[in-house]
Structure 1
């Protein structure tokens, strides 16, 4: 996600965007590079003990520049007969606005012979912040624990059937046999969002291409509302992947070739990710921070996506487009309507892993900051002033509000995390929202996160990154939520949205 704040220009939040970009695989310009060939006489079906490989490496290219690699390995477990250890790692490195962004992931999955998940352990590193996720699967469900910056939480996700790790989405068809027209459906535990979703796959064709050696099955996968297209051989090895109309590519490489990105990405000055995420408008907004009413027509939003509506934002679908009006000061008849008012207010006072408002470090600091405030509005003003003076605005990714408090720096989502944790600790119902905001320097909208607090009976939009109270009307809300899974619906919009400015005041 590319995030913006007007005090220092553009900030970046690439973690979610890149992870979701890597799953937004589409056929793109497939017809230009691929052609059908005859199927082998007999359909092969592999079990894990007969796989013709134990590991493979892939390089990741974005808009012609290498930005990362991934590595996959599988071997029998020494401790548990009939089980297999799948280890994966991935690393991304790119530059945006002259800042280096580094994201890495290391995963371990212990699976049974049918590929179902038994135990797992994942580690994510983003710009120095680390998140560890670990757990196991049993008859009661998926037991998940998360740990970051001494913040630990545990949960159980109930499931109705066996669950598989995301690392086996290519192996599953190979184990069950592949033929054109074959379909597969199974539940997968997604480590990024810590949730379960049903994966649906279909074999579309058997093809050859100049982009990879040999022949491969073309497979379409539906996962978390997105469609992925890949070309895999009969043993489940992904030979080639294409995303975003050919902008994002992944293909098999040697270990040396895959890791060559470390040098190439450090020398790469291309900022195509910014160009891809930017939503340009024909009509510029010269002083967005002063806009109190904005009327727009948004295209590219899926038919099944409902734009959030409340007192400050009213959206109506018009065919395939959505007409939205955002007001800083809504009319009296709109106050009290919309998202959040039909949900318990206590929900927005809860302590969560991302927003641990009951943690002693958060609670004591919030109490110190607001000790002289007598009203909720004064508390919010004190919190915004403290954030402005104590948290540096830097393109640094974080996992929780504690990461921001300890590191004393963050981009916009980190500012929203910490503000929300402080506000909830101070007794102010607050929620995190994400969407788009206008960036005057780039003459378009960029993805952003901010907050909404319930003050004197009304939900007020607040931007902790820019200290805006209330936020200007170029803040167009797409989703509400602080968890990674809440961002899933927005992933499919990146690179697809268009905005026409109808009126602004």
Structure 2
């Protein structure tokens, strides 16, 4: 319930739904084509009264492996002018042996057609707090992010007819009509907006008659993930089963208010970082590798850009080759008029390039140096040496990282990118995998906890020196990044939602290693 705070409702086209139903051997009914009197009587009405019947506060406990690891609650109110949905959750997870407490809160205001008018989202972890607010204005959502005493804003196009909140997925599905007699399944299409990453991803919603009278199974599928709801005829949640990536099973069940207040939450022994590991043999002295060739399986290779800088893909064989340290570089002035590089010099919600603190620190680091490569090296050294390396759950934000001077690979990458772009060095963030011979390895400053070799999810950067792109890893102090860095996605932190379907499915097997001494 706390995994999809905002959703844009967009019913699946009738011909698309029918085609999908036929291919899966299920019976499909379109809301627009449902004309039988029996079905009409079975369907709740899409009206203020229908949604208003769900006023009041509901509470849930979140359990995993016989432990209560969190709780969530939502309140649904109807006023004379709109609907108000308030939802909160808190959960404890373990990352690299450290317990992390995550709190979220979202408040939405919707009109009687279930179109969002405004929202207010909060994420708090430890000393970090971020708030993202949005307001509908003439077909757009005006979004503002407040974090680390800094504010960024942008407009997001909203053309869908209905915009809803997380718990409303259940209610909206029912308002579109229950599966009538003889029709067991209804399917719909929604676009899910994740405010913490400003990402919009498609979600398929399937409503199926349950084997238990008066109950329905509601399945939500997006980015390779599934959330299973068991709901009553009036939309009340009876049970929800989900998987927190990579593979932490969580079950939400209703709870009385008093029990909710007194609920004791403990962190699961399930380590999220360790569980995300892609098993792989130990690689002795990985820094000595010139190239690495692996076989990729378990995922659709077309969903990710495996063939890119440093990487080549032939069939399912992926080869990563380390670049040479460049023997030439250009001054920053040489990039004047290079419109093809403008995207790599701009900022976004998480990389506020124009913020005065970022601009000031970038000037301080590079000084009078004009050479692009030397500027990048200076910024790399500053980020690597200045940040305390520790697991960090937050919205990766360059300003907050500059202030806190701590974080994991995401914080290192966003701070480097912001500073480098502010210094005129074209930079792109890369998200992918890196091999480690231990469970926890944040480079030379870390202490391994267990000998569990494999590939772990990681972020690093690539910079343009006026002639070519070169990789850098400011978390692990590698220039260029080693051959065990496998790039999957290029972009900002918002792109990481694309990795959800990859976790737990990707498999890698060793084909060939070439060391520098062998060439």
**TM-score bracket relative to the smaller structure:** 0.7 to 0.9
Query: What is the DSSP-based 3-state SS (H/G/I as helix, E as strand, rest coil) of the residue aligned with 2:462?
Result: strand
CA–CA distance in structure 2, aligned partners of residues 461 and 65 of structure 1: 42
Pick from 441, 448, 452 the counterpart of residue 462 of structure 2. 452
- The Cα shift of 1:234 comes to 1.5
1:253 Cα deviation (Å)? Answer: 2.6
What count of residue pairs does the alignment treat as equivalent? 445
Matched with 1:335 is none
Query: 1:95 Cα shift?
Result: 2.5
RCO greater where, 1 or 2, for CA within 8 Å and sep 6 or more? Answer: 1
**Cα gap change, 1:331 to 1:409, in 2 (>3 Å):** closer
User: Secondary structure of 1:472's partner?
Assistant: coil
Q: How far apart are 1:96 and its partner, in Å?
A: 2.7
Matches for 1:378-389 after TM superposition, within 5 Å? 378-389=374-385
- Matching of residues 286-365 of structure 1 within 5 Å: 286-302=284-300, 304-316=302-314, 318=315, 322-329=316-323, 344-365=340-361
Corresponding position of 1:241: 240
Structure 1 residues 101-110 or 62-71, which shifts more?
62-71
CA drift of 1:394 comes to 1.9
Instruction: Kindly provide the CA deviation profile for residues 30-79 of structure 1, in whole angstroms up to 9, marking residues without a partner as x.
Output: xxxxxxxxx999625154535255222222233443321211110113xx
Structure 1 residues 452 and 303, CA gap change in structure 2 (3 angstroms): closer
Aligned counterpart in structure 2 of residue 370 of structure 1, from 366, 369, 376: 366
Cα 1:309–1:64, aligned 2, differ >3 Å: closer, same or farther? farther
Alpha-carbon distance between aligned partners in 2 of 1:53 and 1:433, rounded to the nearest angstrom: 45
Q: Which deviations, in whole Å up to 9, do the C-alpha atoms of 1:310-341 show, x marking residues without a partner?
A: 2311123x3xxx32111103799xxxxxxxxx
423-432 vs 162-171, which moves further? 162-171
How far 1:248 moved relative to its partner?
3.0
Q: Report what 1:14 is aligned to.
A: none
Residue from 202, 205, 212 that aligns with 1:201: 205
**Displacement after TM superposition at 1:262 (Å):** 4.3
Kept after mapping to 2: 8 A contact 1:164/1:186? no
CA contact (8 A) 1:433 1:452 kept: yes
CA–CA distance in 2 between the matches of 1:257 and 1:287?
Answer: 53
Which whole-Å deviations, capped at 9, do the CAs of 1:427-475 have from their partners, x for residues lacking one?
Answer: 1100111111111012111111111111242111111111111010111
**SS of aligned partner of 1:221:** strand
Classify 1:235/1:344 alpha carbon distance in 2 versus 1 (closer, same or farther; 3 Å).
Answer: farther
* 1:54 counterpart = 2:56: yes
Asked if 2 retains the 8 angstrom alpha-carbon contact of 1:48 and 1:175, the reply is no
Contact 2:248 2:272 survives alignment (8 Å): no
Work out whether residues 68 and 258 of structure 1, in 8 Å CA contact, stay in contact via their aligned partners in 2: no
Secondary structure of the corresponding residue to residue 414 of structure 1: helix
Secondary structure of the equivalent of 1:353?
A: coil
- For the residues of structure 1 that align with 2:365 and 2:340, how far apart are their CA atoms? 27
Of 413, 417, 422, which aligns to 2:414?
417
1:78-101 CA-partner distances (Å, limit 9, x unpaired): xxx241110000112122333121
Alpha-carbon distance in structure 1 between the residues aligned to 2:107 and 2:249? 29
Note if contact 2:294-2:317 (Cα within 8 Å) is conserved in structure 1.
yes
**Equivalent-residue separation in structure 1 for 2:510 and 2:192 (angstroms):** 41
| SS of aligned partner of 2:303 | coil
Which of 381, 387, 397 is the aligned partner of 2:393?
A: 397
Structure 1 residues 100 and 375: alpha-carbon distance in aligned structure 2, compared to 1, 3 A threshold: same
Distance in 2 (CA, whole Å) between partners of 1:202 and 1:346 is 42
1:436 aligns with 2:433: yes
Instruction: Show the 5 A alignment for 1:113-124.
Output: 113-124=112-123
Q: State the match for 2:99 in structure 1.
A: 100
Q: Is the deviation greater in 380-389 or in 460-469? A: 380-389
- In 1, Cα distance between the equivalents of 2:459 and 2:258? 38
Using the size of structure 1 for normalisation, the TM-score is 0.80
User: 2:270 is matched with which residue?
Assistant: 271
Looking at structure 1, the residues matched to 104 and 238 of structure 2 have their Cα atoms a distance apart, in angstroms, of 21
Aligned to 1:8: none
SS at match of 1:344: helix
Alignment partner, residue 177 of structure 1: 177
Measure the CA separation in 2 of the matches of 1:499 and 1:161.
Answer: 40
Structure 2 runs not aligned, ≥5 long: 8-37, 327-337, 439-451, 515-519
Distance 2:214 2:284 in 1: 54
2: distance between equivalents of 1:303 and 1:55?
A: 45
Contact kept, 8 Å, 1:287 with 1:440, in 2: the verdict is no
Q: Is the 8 A contact 1:164 1:188 kept in 2?
A: no
Distance (whole Å) between structure 1 residues aligned to residue 252 and residue 289 of structure 2: 42
Q: CA deviation at 1:492?
A: 0.8
Q: How many Å apart are 1:415 and its aligned residue? A: 0.6
Secondary structure in 2 matching 1:489: helix
Structure 1 residue 224: deviation in Å?
Answer: 5.3
In structure 2, distance between residues paired with 1:343 and 1:413: 27
Is contact 2:431-2:460 (8 Å) kept?
yes
Larger radius of gyration: 2
Distance 1:284 1:161, change over 3 A: same
